[in-house]
Amino acid sequence: MKRWEVLDRECVADASPWLRLVREKIRLEDGRIVDDYYTIEEPDFAVVFAMTPLEEVVGIWHYKHGPGRINLGLPAGYVRAGEPPLDAARRELLEETGYTSGTWRHLGSFSVHGNRGCGKAHVFFARDVVKTGDPSPDDLEEIRVELLPLPALREHLAKGDVATLGAAAGMALGIASYMIDGVK
């Protein structure tokens, strides 16, 4: 088993700074050539599973255009050029919810799209968060913050109220981490 080899790449649609669609010529593991394998370059984003000292999770209700509906997510946003992902996570948690934390744990970094890339999702667990200000979201979203005890969060997940893969992964990784390791 080995990596594919990229023999050539051509940008077929440039919507910088948001995304670039790139057509690649690939040599597969078995030597076959694929002339038109599409990859998508995008900025990374950070997503935060934030828990209060009372073990409530900081959820966000918002409209997301991917699923096209109002749904339950987690604080999240794009990582700026040169910004460490943890700094982006701290910044987005504060901007979107007004919460801060002194105790962070990295739960993993994952390509959003297994085949095409689409940037990475950096998932963090913020423990013992406290509200230190008011939200000041600066992007296109209207947001409603809701503190959710774990049973309520699981109920929303089971009911289909969580509509994006990044939020589902962040919640499930956070829940599994909490159940296995506890919050301390």
| Interface contacts to its own copies, rule CB under 8 A | 1-4, 12-13, 15, 18-19, 21, 23, 26, 28-30, 34, 36-40, 61-70, 73, 76, 108-118, 121, 123, 140, 142, 144, 154, 157-158, 160, 162-169, 172-173, 175-176, 179-180
The torsion angles phi and psi of 81, rounded to 5 degrees, stand at -55, 125
Residue closer to its own copies (CB basis): 100 or 150? 150
Smallest distance, Å, CB 60 to its own copies? Answer: 11
Rounded to the nearest 5°, which phi and psi values hold at 149? Answer: -60, 155
C-beta of 100 vs 175, nearer to its own copies: 175
In angstroms, the CA 33 to CA 66 distance is 32
Q: CB count, 10 Å around CB of 142?
A: 9
The CA-CA-CA angle for residues 66, 108, 131, to 5°, reads: 75
CB of 146 to its own copies, least distance (A): 12
| Separation of alpha carbons 41 and 23, rounded Å | 11
Token match 């919507």: residue? 15
Q: How far is the CB of 51 from its own copies (least distance, A)?
A: 15
CB of 161 to its own copies, least distance (A): 10
Complex with its own copies: residue 100 or 145, whichever CB lies closer: 145
Dig out the tokens for 155 from the structure.
Answer: 């109920």
CB of 82 to its own copies, least distance (A): 21
With respect to its own copies, which residue has the nearer C-beta, 100 or 104? 104
Q: Which is nearer to its own copies, 111 or 132 (CB)?
A: 111
Please tell me what DSSP assigns to residue 51.
B
Q: Which residue has the tokens 């995008």?
A: 42
Cis peptide preceding 43, ω within 30 of 0: no
- CA distance linking residue 59 with residue 6, whole number of Å: 40
Question: At its nearest, how many Å lie between its own copies and the CB of residue 98?
Answer: 18
Nearer to its own copies by C-beta: 62 or 127?
62
